[in-house]
């Protein structure tokens, strides 16, 4: 476990973020490879089906994942305060919450999939494959919840390497199973979903066994359920704003998909393909934000707000350098990257336009995410939620609708950097007020054993 309350801020954050970054990249690489395999073996329609599925998956899991992220914050602050009893209570409460939530999400995902695709106006030629993929995927969603829960626990404890090791194995297994199920067994798009279920479920089981057998203090218990009301209220206080924020972001993604889908299969496919490429570019900013969340949480728990601010500046320096480099590479190699998914010239043109416009503003996204990570680590998630909702639902979605009627799909592309830039400006102003310093969950009143 890594103590982030001592030592050089930049080195510690980079050391802690690197396994998260590599792990996230691997996770996206296997999704990226998944899409390439699907595109090359099953065609453009399958690419569009999976691309639209992710916005629906995100919309159904975001609230739960957002609340679960509070586990990282709470555990990090308890760890900074050296409070082992409440760390174990947090793990137990998180376990029960995610089990119940996983059952609910499975039901919703399986039974309302087709209705959700029709809601976002997915072209009829794509719906059958999209429904087949998504219904299959949701039967294994408990593995996804479980793995991310344990990863949150370990990150809160300062261990970002262990989830990485299991994710490497999971990614390799997923790619192998993709080729086996789609290329050999010819299971079609369902094969991609089954491969993901098996790899994620295996990673969850493996990482919990590691925690239970190689950690002397904290345990993740599959069948021993305990619930701490006080800690769960803290989950909701910290995680609910973040969860609602991510949920409304997911709904915004669905709304944007709906606007894109009105322009037909070409733009639906292009948007799905660039979404996979974009996910690779923004991962460093997201990984560094997650590392900063833990860094801020531990230092707030230790009562050192000055060091938390220094961590923010160190993270900004690293994140901006990486984002500038990747943005340049993306604009140079945009066409070869798009050709990994399709050779349709119309799709390549639409995707290239997106990258040229949106790819020039990844710096705004990077800085915005860094500030969000700092505020989340301090336990201040309510105001950032409102800022995100404003930039998404007052700026991006209405602007996309308005500009698309004037400029076509190009107008949708311009709405994305516009919302990032405005959201960043408001978030920066809020951070400078210093209100985040008052949101720590510790020191705490005594809790009953």
* Cα dihedral sign, 254-255-256-261: positive
Other CB atoms within 10 A of residue 168 CB? 16
Nearest alpha-carbon partner for 91 in 154, 2, 144: 154
d(CA 284, CA 65) in angstroms, rounded, equals 20
Sort 127 into a burial class: Cβ within 10 Å, 0-12 / 13-18 / 19+. middle
d(CA 423, CA 432) in angstroms, rounded, equals 14
Nearest alpha-carbon partner for 217 in 434, 56, 439, 1: 1
What pLDDT is attached to residue 430? 92
What pLDDT is attached to residue 405? 94
pLDDT tens for each residue of 125-151: 899 999 999 999 999 999 988 888 888
Nearest alpha-carbon partner for 21 in 287, 220, 332, 232: 287
Residue 122's alpha-carbon distances to 88, 102, 132, 361, in angstroms, are 45, 26, 14, 28
Over 60: is that where the pLDDT of 268 sits? Answer: yes
Range 318-344 average pLDDT: 92
pLDDT tens for each residue of 55-111: 888 888 888 887 877 888 888 888 878 888 888 888 888 888 888 899 999 999 999
d(CA 240, CA 221) in angstroms, rounded, equals 24
Q: What spatial distance separates the first Cα and last Cα of the chain, rounded to whole Å?
A: 25
d(CA 1, CA 215) in angstroms, rounded, equals 10
What pLDDT is attached to residue 85? 87
Show me where the domains of the chain are located.
Answer: 9-436
pLDDT band at 449 (very low <50, low <70, confident <90, very high): very low
What pLDDT is attached to residue 442? 55
Residue with tokens 């408990």: 142
Over 80: is that where the pLDDT of 327 sits? Answer: yes
Q: What is the pTM of this model?
A: 0.74
Over 60: is that where the pLDDT of 8 sits? Answer: yes
What pLDDT is attached to residue 209? 86
pLDDT band at 402 (very low <50, low <70, confident <90, very high): very high
Cα dihedral angle (323, 327, 329, 335), rounded to 10 degrees?
Answer: 150
For 429, phi then psi, to 5°, come to -60, -40
SS3 content of the chain, % helix, strand, coil (to 5): 85, 0, 15
Range 334-341 average pLDDT: 91
Structure tokens belonging to residue 140: 């294994």
Percent of the chain with pLDDT over 90: 40
What does pLDDT average to over the chain?
87
Among 169-173, 235-239, 308-312, 443-447, the range with the most confident prediction by mean pLDDT is 308-312
Length of the chain: 449
Nearest alpha-carbon partner for 117 in 188, 56, 35, 193: 56
Structure tokens belonging to residue 338: 């798009």
Over 60: is that where the pLDDT of 446 sits? Answer: no
């Amino acid at each position: 476990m890594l103590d982030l309350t001592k030592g050089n801020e930049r080195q510690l954050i980079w050391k802690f973020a690197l396994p998260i970054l590599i792990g996230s990249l691997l996770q996206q690489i296997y999704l990226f490879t998944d899409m390439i395999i699907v595109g090359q073996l099953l065609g453009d329609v399958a690419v569009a089906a999976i691309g639209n599925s992710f916005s629906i998956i995100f919309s159904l899991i975001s609230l739960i994942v957002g609340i679960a992220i509070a586990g990282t914050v709470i555990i990090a602050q308890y760890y900074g305060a050296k409070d082992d009893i409440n760390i174990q209570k947090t793990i137990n409460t998180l376990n029960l919450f995610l089990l119940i939530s996983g059952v609910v999400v499975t039901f919703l995902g399986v039974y309302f999939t087709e209705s959700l695709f029709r809601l976002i106006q997915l072209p009829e030629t794509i719906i059958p494959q999209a429904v087949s993929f998504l219904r299959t995927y949701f039967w294994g969603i408990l593995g996804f919840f479980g793995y991310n829960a344990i990863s949150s626990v370990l990150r809160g404890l300062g261990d970002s390497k262990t989830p990485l090791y299991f994710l490497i194995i999971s990614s390799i297994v997923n790619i192998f199973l993709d080729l086996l199920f789609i290329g050999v067994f010819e299971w079609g798009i369902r094969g991609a979903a089954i491969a993901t279920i098996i790899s994620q479920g295996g990673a969850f089981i493996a990482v919990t066994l590691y925690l239970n057998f190689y950690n002397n203090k904290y345990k993740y218990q599959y069948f021993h359920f305990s619930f701490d009301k006080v800690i769960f209220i803290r989950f909701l206080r910290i995680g609910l704003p973040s969860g609602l924020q991510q949920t409304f972001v997911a709904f915004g993604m669905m709304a944007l998909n709906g606007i894109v889908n009105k322009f037909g299969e070409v733009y639906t496919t292009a948007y799905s393909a660039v979404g996979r490429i974009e996910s690779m570019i923004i991962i460093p900013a997201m990984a560094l934000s997650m590392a900063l969340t833990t860094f801020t949480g531990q230092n707030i728990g230790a009562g050192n707000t000055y060091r938390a601010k220094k961590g923010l500046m160190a993270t900004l320096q690293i994140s901006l350098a990486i984002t500038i480099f990747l943005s340049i590479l993306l604009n140079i190699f945009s066409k070869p990257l798009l050709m990994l998914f399709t050779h349709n010239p119309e799709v390549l043109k639409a995707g290239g336009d997106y990258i040229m416009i949106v790819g020039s503003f990844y710096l705004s996204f990077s800085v915005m995410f860094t500030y969000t990570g700092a505020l989340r680590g301090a336990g201040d998630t309510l105001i950032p939620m409102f800022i995100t909702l404003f930039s998404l639902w007052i700026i991006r979605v209405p602007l996309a609708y308005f500009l698309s009627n004037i400029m076509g799909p190009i107008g949708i592309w311009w709405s994305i950097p516009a919302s990032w830039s405005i959201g960043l400006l408001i978030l920066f102003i809020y951070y400078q007020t210093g209100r985040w310093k008052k949101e720590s969950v510790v020191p705490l009143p005594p809790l009953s054993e």
